[in-house]
Amino acid sequence: MNISNKDLNSLYLFKVLYEERNLSNAAKRMALSQPALSHRLNKLRHEFNDPLFVKAPRGLSITPTAEKYAADIMQLVSAAESLYQSFQPQDFLDEHEKINIYSTEIVEAFLIPKLLSNIRALAPNTQISMLNNRGELPKTELEKGTCDIAIAGFFEDIPDSFYSQLLCSYRFVVLTHKKNPNIKKNLGIKEFVNCDHAIVTLSGDLSGKVDKALAKLKKQRRILTGYSSHLAPQALLTQQPDILFVCLNPVAELATKYDKNLVYYEMPIKLPRVDFIQVWHARTHHDPFRRWIRERMKEISS
């Protein structure tokens, strides 16, 4: 097909409308008046012979045709943006940028301080804003661009329009007071189930991977409390020595570093390691600064 009579700028309009799902926001982002944007949208609809974006009570709805071609168009426009950005001087580290990262308390405690060290040294005009992902992948925020990177150890079923990368892998251990009266020498399965437990729960459900593994062994533990924080249970263990807290190894290592009354043991049952991955959307895949941030995250996590 001869594309000489095609307006490739219309594909950029498609990308903006698909990301914003709002005519006013799209017009502002493209520095266009509402009539000008509507004119371009009509041309875009004519190109595809489809409405593509339809007004809805809240913004725009996406037609099946728009959804069908969205991934290819986003990739094509992103590649073009990357090409033109490569013509520019590599001074993006001097720009004033704000990066929004949705993650967990563990990422904030163990990975972000290393990232900030890089930021202060190499990109001093950058700000990092940390937001809690509340136990799920922030798909809408990634699509809209209000989230640049999402990092956690529980993301599943990542959409095809998203990219992902393994950062690190942690194992489970058992944190407790060194004078736990139920543990004489080693922590075996018997001692494990005889103790009360504190756990971390994001949903309020007081059971998890440990309890499923115990059930297969026809064992059961008593859960005393569920915390929303991975770091707060340390105070409980200091005050009540007979309680156990199953956590990831960096949490236990930090706790025993700052509180000599605490100690951790290897798990008496087998559990899979937790893989922490970073996820980003196709809209920021080729952005040089955000690519630099992702590269730093991978580097400091290895």
Instruction: State residue 52's pLDDT score.
Output: 93
* pLDDT tens by residue, 161-189: 789 999 999 999 999 999 999 998 889 99
More confident residue, 1 or 134: 134
* pLDDT tens by residue, 68-99: 988 888 888 878 777 776 666 557 788 889 99
* pLDDT tens by residue, 193-220: 999 999 998 777 888 889 999 999 999 9
Same fold, 92-161+284-301 and 172-272: yes
pTM of full prediction above 0.75: no
CATH number belonging to the domain at 172-272, selected among 3.40.710.10, 3.30.365.10, 3.40.190.10, 3.30.2230.10: 3.40.190.10
Beta-bridge partners for 219:
none
* pLDDT tens by residue, 250-282: 999 999 999 999 999 999 999 999 999 999 998
End-to-end CA distance of the chain: 47
CA distance 51 to 199: 51
With cut-offs at 50, 70 and 90, classify the pLDDT of residue 22.
confident
Report how far Cα 19 is from the mean position of its chain's Cα atoms. 18
Instruction: State residue 71's pLDDT score.
Output: 86
Query: What's the fold here for domain 9-85?
Result: Arc Repressor Mutant, subunit A (1.10.10)
CA distance 12 to 28: 14
- For the domain covering 92-161+284-301, report its CATH number: 3.40.190.10
Ordered by start, the domain boundaries in the chain are: 9-85, 92-161+284-301, 172-272
